[in-house]
Structure 1
Amino acid sequence: MRLIVLVPLLAAIPGAALAKPLTFERALERARAYAPSLKAGAAGVDAARSDSVAAGRLPDPTLAVGIDNFPVSGPPAFSFTRENMTMERIGLEQAFPNPAKRRAERTRAQADIGMAEAGLAVEAQNVRLETALAWIDLYYAKRRLAQLDLLNDSLNDLQTTVSARLAAGTARPSQAFEPEQLRAAVNDRRSELAAEVAAARARLIRFTGDPDADAAGDPPTIEVDRARLMAGVASLPALKSLDAGIDVADADTELARAEKRPDWRVTTSYGRRDPAFGDMVSVGVSIDLPLFTKRRQDPKIAARASDAERARLLREAGERQIVAALDAALADHVMHHQLLMNARDTLVPLAKRRAELDMASYAAGKLDLGSALLSTLAEAEAEVDALAREAEVARDAIRINFTYGDTQP
């Protein structure tokens, strides 16, 4: 029955023999090449660059067609021939925004490109980090699962010993069920770890695009150096994104200031009258007059300047937050490393020694089988816990370096 219950869960997990193995570096390469979010970010950068081509250009000219001086009253009303002032007109108008506005538009377009590139860098960092963590989680979940499988195999030998003792009459009949009870407890733990394997593999598939992804090879050895990490804080994608926000706010401020300078337009038209009279050409220039700046342009300039100041303060706050988060992550890393050393040097050896002594006592008839089996289970749990602590140390190193260190693949 236990096997039947486990089949649906285990069937949902691609077998290691069927899955395509991925080394740690290969997984990162696939994520960089196939992650849809990175392709979307690259498309956003391309869109910003295309927009920048038109920034700061003169607007399209305007074509005007009309009839001037058409009579609607008096003797020549509604006649094209009885009024010598009626003429057909065609003209063009070209607007010339002031140079400061055009420069500001080009600067704003470049700032948009920087913002799009910064956003892509942030997403690339997130994808790289999540892919690395998924690979580490899958690697260690499989190792913990294998550790429980070793215990499950050892129970077969123990079951044979108990059966022999029952046949010889040196064991109580109830002891025949104790290995099975331990096996049931191991299967419960195994089901939990199988679910962790499936979840980690699903995350790895999400970022690599490989439907049969599986962790292969050894995890990377990553050193954590606070001095090196602190030296590169200013170049982190998160802060680069905030820097791009400052550039955008500054460009918007310059655009608002440019509104105080007048734009101008040139208009020319050709008028055709009755053949008995001469045709006419008109040329004109119109200039905007920003005369009421205190109620129109100045408030907008002040608003954009406040936005720029806000962007600078957010940049400062963002850097402080990153430094604080880095120090907190380093403290957790030290703590997790100490826990790992405690497990390796103390907890696992003690659990192993206790299990050996308890099994020896059981063999000598000084301890009941149930207590001996519980010690064996405790040893397995200690081994699995040590692997979990090792995984946490590896996760810390990856999270710290991929978040606060070199973000290049």
Structure 2
Amino acid sequence: MPCSVHPIGRRLSRTLIASVCPLAVALPLWASPLSFEQALSLSTQEAPTLVASQARVDSARAAAIPAGELPDPKLAVGVENFPIAGPDRYSLTGDFMTMQRIAYMQDIPNRSKRDARVAVAQARVQQAESAQQLSKLSLRRETAVAWIRRYTLEQQISLFDGLFKQNKLLASAVQAQLAGGRGSIADVLMPRQEAAMLSERQDELRAQRAQAIAALQRWIGAAAGEALEGAPPNWPLDREALAHQIQDHPDVNLLSSSSRVLDAELQEAQAAKKSDWGVELAYQRRGEQFGDMVSVKVTFDLPTAPAKRQDPQIAAKQLELLGLDAELELLRREHLQELDTQWAELERLNLALDRNQTILQPLMRDKVALTLAAYQSGKGTLLEHLAARRESLETQLRFLTLQGERQAISARLHFTNDASLAGGSQ
């Protein structure tokens, strides 16, 4: 016997479906945590900078297709020796010299010039590709630094949960001191004052975190707001290897490709001293009483004044190349200086981190414990203990700041050449 559904039940079902479906559409199916590697991957997907650089590469490749082709031929149509006086004036067929003419003409640049034009086009493709590699490298480097900045701030913010718990324990300890007849009535306010100061510092870090998310969003879009997952990689860095990689830095490759463009343009300027030539094939039609005619003509360019035309252009390209070679050497030196500067800073950060972790933090922990014991025994003040707690907090925050700075410099050193682009974070 088939079962039936009461009309009220059907209306209730439709109401529930209607209320739930919009929520199902509005809410994402899942939110993916944002790891360091995922951020790097997102930075090179549909980035406006890469779309623009890819368009320039495609444009250069398209322009290279006709580089070595001959110029378009020409078609000439006209009348030669048309009489305007005498018995045959205004006649196309009366005079034997009058001809209706159609000609096909083809200019043919010399082989060296065409080869040089091909070389120029290919060098410009390489130049656009070098610029694209530089854009990719910059995107990945800046994304890495922005992710690390946000990660560092979240590590600092996470300290405050434990600090607020300690603050509550301190408030209880102060009450116990007062109940035992020790301490000052003003001590009751000090834990509350410390809690307010902690909240203010936490708010500052949260504001900086929001700014870090905005900076990361510039490179990867809306995914910058997702929860972070994992930690930054620990790259093995070698100063000598990094110095050697400067030769392949995208900045250097881009300037080198510009040098190749100039070198090809120099070859084209030198080829202009050689003659171009052309061929013309013409058909001439005369009156019926006269025979039609065919003409073949070959033309040659005569570079008779190279000192005023070709040689100055050649000299200009040679001087441009000389200047570009100097710029290339200057760029290599600038990158080497930057490497040495960052390497020195990295070594300083390593020493500061080791000092903070092995000396300062243990000292601060001991100082907090000693001042608390002194306060509880009536030999010290609560103010001294709170000062020690603030110093301890600053030491811990400083450690995380130094750690973030070291990771950021490591990222900048790691993303210095094209090898980084192929293998992700490696």
TM-score, length-scaled by structure 2: 0.85
Deviation at 1:337, TM superposition (A): 0.8
Matched residue, 1:384? 397
Q: Does 1:117 align with 2:129?
A: yes
Deviation at 1:32, TM superposition (A): 2.4
C-alpha contact (below 8 Å) 1:34/1:207 kept by paired residues = no
Q: Which digits, 9 at most, give the CA deviation of each residue in 1:161-210, with x for residues without a partner?
A: 44566678755443333223222322232222112212222232222234
User: Aligned AA for 2:217?
Assistant: I
Matched residue, 1:89? 101
Matched residue, 1:47? 59
Root mean square deviation of aligned Cα: 2.4
Q: Which digits, 9 at most, give the CA deviation of each residue in 1:312-366, with x for residues without a partner?
A: 2222222222222212211111011111111111222222221222222222333
Q: Distance in 2 between matches of 1:27 and 1:243?
A: 31
Matched residue, 2:261? 248
Matches within 5 A, 1:9-408: 20-73=32-85, 76-80=88-92, 85-162=97-174, 172-211=184-223, 212-403=225-416, 406-408=419-421
Q: Secondary structure at the match of 2:76?
A: strand
TM-score, length-scaled by structure 1: 0.88
Segments of 5+ residues of structure 2 without an aligned counterpart are 1-29
Q: Secondary structure at the match of 1:289?
A: coil
Q: 1:153 to 1:279 in 2, by over 3 A?
A: farther
Deviation at 1:292, TM superposition (A): 0.3
Matched residue, 2:3? none
User: Aligned AA for 1:64?
Assistant: A
Q: Distance in 1 between matches of 2:282 and 2:175?
A: 111
User: Aligned AA for 1:255?
Assistant: E
Deviation at 1:258, TM superposition (A): 0.7
Q: Distance in 1 between matches of 2:189 and 2:83?
A: 114
Q: 1:34 to 1:50 in 2, by over 3 A?
A: same
Q: Distance in 1 between matches of 2:108 and 2:287?
A: 34
Q: Secondary structure at the match of 1:281?
A: strand
Q: 1:375 to 1:19 in 2, by over 3 A?
A: farther
Q: Distance in 2 between matches of 1:116 and 1:332?
A: 34
Deviation at 1:34, TM superposition (A): 3.3
Identity of aligned residues (%): 35
Q: Secondary structure at the match of 1:67?
A: strand
Deviation at 1:291, TM superposition (A): 0.5
C-alpha contact (below 8 Å) 1:148/1:380 kept by paired residues = no
Q: Distance in 2 between matches of 1:74 and 1:345?
A: 116
C-alpha contact (below 8 Å) 2:263/2:321 kept by paired residues = yes
- Deviation larger for 31-40 or 214-223: 31-40
